[in-house]
Structure 1
Amino acid sequence: MSIPTTELVIFNTTEAIRNDSSILRPAFEIVSKSDGVQMPAYVGTQIENPAKGYVFLNWDSLAHHQAMMASPTYASLLEALKPAYGGWSKMYHVIFNAHPIAFQQPVTEVLLLTLKNPSHRTEVFEILTKISDSTKQMLVFGPTLEDNNVIIAVGGWQSVEAHWEMVANPEPKAALERLYTLANKDHLFHSTLTHYTGK
């Protein structure tokens, strides 16, 4: 099975979704009927700051998601999202280096990087590949389809503490220190994701 195109939406949450993420179930039921979507969908609020939330959806291709956004059902989807979305949101698309299994872990790390200089791309990808391989692809990454200088990485962990313990070890610590000299760390937070299969 080919690696999907993953849609990531980071959004300001409402109090309603902070209290009950299942308010998004009607939205995911609409999405689940779309051609080319790979359910389940994943949603969670940020552990560090629940005023921010995440939605992850896998698609067969970017074209499938674009077709859904151009379809008549998109207006109903936007309406179904309103109770959860508190205004600001930002959408990205990425094809990871391996299947994103991190979504099924107790804690999912969400990291956004921007290359300081496009000439650093190869070294940044080498560092991220090494980390990905060392976690047996529990951490995956890829450039966004919107801007290939922006890189998204997601990692799966047993807990937030387990993540910080791992990166405190000498080898990953050195690799990450080098990484952050080559790319700006724009976003590094964690979430516990709930999955919805839709109908």
Structure 2
Amino acid sequence: MGNPTVELVYGPATELVRQDPHNKDVVATPFSVLKAQEGLIKIYYGVQHEDKVTAYHVIVWESYEHHKKLMDDTTTYPKLTGSVESVFDKSKGPVTMLHVDTTNEPYKAFEAPVVEIATFTLREGQSKSELEGLVKTLADAINANEPGTNGAFHASWGPAREKDNAFVLFIGWSSVDAHWNLVKSDPGAIALIGRCRAISDVEVVHVPLALY
């Protein structure tokens, strides 16, 4: 079996989710549908730390094809998309879905106290292979240390299927502050991130996730 595909789904949270981001009752219906699907490995969920209003579902599949089979199921998939109204308030904005084909297992990143989700989108005229190498170097640098060093536990990354020139990096941290402290004080990290920002647009959010 290869490395898993991570499905990221995020959008404006309902009031119930904002008040209690890890309320199992609110997600029970959609997640029960997911749990019954072949190829489903794990489901995590939470609300973005920065804005406190964007709900995230992080769904790990054995492969993209397993999720595609569900999306093509004209009976089951509408039940799933209808039931997420308990989580996502579509009147306040769109719900986005991305698939990330990970290059290593992601679980330790998602099960840390908070996960950083960094999206690197290549700028026009820049080298995709250079950006891929830089993101890999960032992840390898985290994973070369003992888990917990400088507050970092694990990194996983991969290309985004829906965005041809984008890579997504997941890093598990002990806290949001631990992340920002490292990137402000570690010369190697500062240099690497600077090189990434020179050729790509970088978006960073943090989400405390719970395992369903």
TM-score with structure 1 setting the length: 0.92
The structure richer in strand per residue is: 1
Shift of 1:80: 1.9
| Mean CA deviation greater in 131-140 or 153-162 | 131-140
Is 1:171 the counterpart of 2:188 in the alignment? yes
Number of the residue aligned with 1:51? 53
Q: Runs in 1 of length 4+ with deviation above 2 angstroms?
A: none
Shift of 1:153: 1.1
- Measured in 2, the distance between the counterparts of 1:133 and 1:153 equals 11
Is 1:125 the counterpart of 2:132 in the alignment? yes
Equivalent residues of 2:6, 2:59 under 8 A apart? yes
Shift of 1:128: 1.4
Equivalent residues of 1:6, 1:93 under 8 A apart? yes
Shift of 1:118: 6.1
Number of the residue aligned with 2:96? 90
- AA at the equivalent of 1:162: A
Equivalent residues of 1:118, 1:149 under 8 A apart? no
Number of the residue aligned with 2:176? 160
Shift of 1:11: 1.0
Which runs of no fewer than 5 residues in structure 1 stay unpaired? none
Shift of 1:119: 4.4
Equivalent residues of 1:47, 1:192 under 8 A apart? yes
Is 1:191 the counterpart of 2:207 in the alignment? yes
- Indicate the percent of aligned positions where both proteins have the same amino acid: 29
Equivalent residues of 1:12, 1:89 under 8 A apart? yes
Shift of 1:52: 0.9
Q: Where does 1:1-199 land on structure 2 (aligned, <5 Å)?
A: 1-20=1-20, 21=22, 22=24, 23-38=26-41, 40-71=42-73, 72-87=75-90, 88-100=94-106, 101-117=108-124, 119-136=126-143, 138-168=154-184, 169-185=186-202, 187-196=203-212
SS of equivalent residue, structure 1 residue 17: helix
SS of equivalent residue, structure 2 residue 117: strand
SS of equivalent residue, structure 1 residue 156: strand
| Mean CA deviation greater in 167-176 or 18-27 | 18-27
Equivalent residues of 2:117, 2:170 under 8 A apart? yes
CA offsets, 1:1-23, max 9 Å, x none? 42111101121111111123321
| Mean CA deviation greater in 110-119 or 154-163 | 110-119
- Measured in 2, the distance between the counterparts of 1:131 and 1:63 equals 28
Equivalent residues of 1:9, 1:90 under 8 A apart? yes
Shift of 1:76: 1.7
TM-score with structure 2 setting the length: 0.86
- AA at the equivalent of 2:99: H
Please give the root-mean-square deviation of Cα atoms over the aligned residues, in Å.
1.5
Equivalent residues of 1:4, 1:60 under 8 A apart? yes
Shift of 1:148: 2.3
